[in-house]
Copies of this chain bind each other. A is one copy, B any other.
């Protein structure tokens, strides 16, 4: 059966902590089964889940219609309703994405390194799943299937907690996904959805150290900030994407115009969008770059020297240098050379993605070495900061923390390793 393990009545009777503990124990037991699966068994399970999603089009769209009706009654914005909405094409896209994850190489079992000691002990480090991953997300129901697929591909169980406005959609997607797993003999508890919208359950997940191995928040800044502030479990996330592009004195003017325009305006709402443009005082075509942005509909906020380039540039406040607009707004500063640019980035970057445009290889390599962000780019649009664009096939998120995994995180970031030691009876002297 593919129903959720907890009936709502049962959940009501439990404390949030007890509910999370029960779900986590079921998830961990299921994960021990996943940990022993071969590459091909996991791929087959994902193909079965994708097929089940396609077969469940009618119930999933019915559940989604309930969420949309409730959302309209609650007065959700049209943008929020659009994020929530599923249709046959979008659902097919969700199933396609699950199949794509099935075709990615399995990181589990990869040998990281090996060695032999003088005493004959043979050592190796081998990738293994992390365990139980908690995913806390907002209104997009596709995250239910995407996150489930990435966790399962890497041998992890998932405990999903989606937004209340998508609860029916999420339940239907999870139910279809789990029935696909069951059709190939796997436990449905490998992918669980928290059966209640009680907000205290999120708090219980965040503090479930030893039960949940890692939390991935997927959503807006307030969600990520809350998760980072309250979690006792390790969190993989980025809070801000305050991405810089520095146009060096030796930048090709045409390239600078093209890349800068793309970095800001291709999609303004993604975390890899440029939020601050640094123009070198020695770069000769700054006015052209600025004009092309304004003509593309971007609001510019500049320091005094930037404003001298074009009267349409508004004055920037101190906060502008630390603001992620996620909109057609850009802060612009004129910098006195390479060091000043790197200094500005060190002070204001959220260490997500920062880029230099230059034809000078030495400046490029210095920038790559000295800028300490998860992603550092030369002569490319910061909008490439994405797991798919990096060839990872998918991503569970982009991380700006310094431990475990940085930048786009896909399957490898969902694994850890263990040391295997093969001896022949060695005792330590």
A283 at the interface (CB under 8 A from B): no
Provide the bound-state CA to CA distance between A130 and B404, in Å: 10
Provide the bound-state CA to CA distance between A157 and B38, in Å: 42
- Pairwise interchain contact B378-A421, C-beta atoms closer than 8 A: yes
Interface set, chain A 260-291, CB cutoff 8 A to B: 261-263, 266
Interface set, chain A 366-389, CB cutoff 8 A to B: 368-370, 372-381, 383-384, 389
Q: Mark A382-418, 1 if CB is under 8 A from B, else 0.
A: 0110000111000000000111101110000000111
* Residues of B with C-beta under 8 A to A373: 418
Contact A36-B421, Cβ < 8 Å, known A426-B380, A427-B259: no
- Pairwise interchain contact B423-A389, C-beta atoms closer than 8 A: no
- Pairwise interchain contact B406-A418, C-beta atoms closer than 8 A: yes
- Pairwise interchain contact B421-A376, C-beta atoms closer than 8 A: yes
The copy count of this chain in the complex is 2
Provide the bound-state CA to CA distance between A389 and B425, in Å: 15
* Residues of B with C-beta under 8 A to A381: 426-428
Q: Mark A178-204, 1 if CB is under 8 A from B, else 0.
A: 000000000000000000000000000
A213 at the interface (CB under 8 A from B): yes
- Pairwise interchain contact A130-B379, C-beta atoms closer than 8 A: no
A234 at the interface (CB under 8 A from B): yes
Stretch at the interface among A59-67, A76-84, A89-97, A115-123: A115-123
* Residues of B with C-beta under 8 A to A378: 420-423
- Chain B: which residue is nearest A266 at the CB level? B428
- Pairwise interchain contact B117-A424, C-beta atoms closer than 8 A: no
Query: Shortest distance in angstroms between A202's beta carbon and chain B's nearest beta carbon?
Result: 18
* Residues of B with C-beta under 8 A to A375: 418-419, 421
Q: Mark A115-153, 1 if CB is under 8 A from B, else 0.
A: 101000101000010110000000000000000000000
- Chain B: which residue is nearest A426 at the CB level? B380
- Pairwise interchain contact A427-B377, C-beta atoms closer than 8 A: no
Identify A214's interface contact among B258, B368, B390, B403, CB under 8 A: B403
Query: Shortest distance in angstroms between A292's beta carbon and chain B's nearest beta carbon?
Result: 12
* Residues of B with C-beta under 8 A to A380: 121, 421-423, 425-426
Query: Shortest distance in angstroms between A50's beta carbon and chain B's nearest beta carbon?
Result: 25
- Pairwise interchain contact B403-A130, C-beta atoms closer than 8 A: yes
- Pairwise interchain contact A384-B259, C-beta atoms closer than 8 A: no
* Residues of B with C-beta under 8 A to A128: 372
- Pairwise interchain contact B368-A420, C-beta atoms closer than 8 A: yes
- Chain B: which residue is nearest A355 at the CB level? B421
- Chain B: which residue is nearest A252 at the CB level? B425
Query: Shortest distance in angstroms between A250's beta carbon and chain B's nearest beta carbon?
Result: 13
A364 at the interface (CB under 8 A from B): yes
- Pairwise interchain contact A402-B213, C-beta atoms closer than 8 A: yes
- Pairwise interchain contact A402-B259, C-beta atoms closer than 8 A: no
- Pairwise interchain contact A402-B130, C-beta atoms closer than 8 A: yes
Provide the bound-state CA to CA distance between A346 and B36, in Å: 14
Besides A121-B384, A121-B389, 16 more A-B contacts (Cβ < 8 Å) are A35-B372, A36-B369, A128-B372, A130-B402, A131-B402, A234-B234, A234-B401, A259-B425, A266-B427, A266-B428, A368-B422, A377-B423, A381-B426, A381-B427, A390-B419, A408-B419
A-B contact pairs, 29 of them (CB 8 A): A117-B391, A121-B389, A123-B390, A234-B401, A255-B425, A262-B427, A266-B428, A364-B422, A368-B422, A372-B418, A374-B418, A375-B418, A375-B421, A376-B418, A377-B420, A378-B420, A378-B422, A378-B423, A379-B422, A379-B423, A379-B426, A381-B427, A383-B427, A383-B428, A384-B423, A389-B428, A390-B419, A404-B404, A407-B418
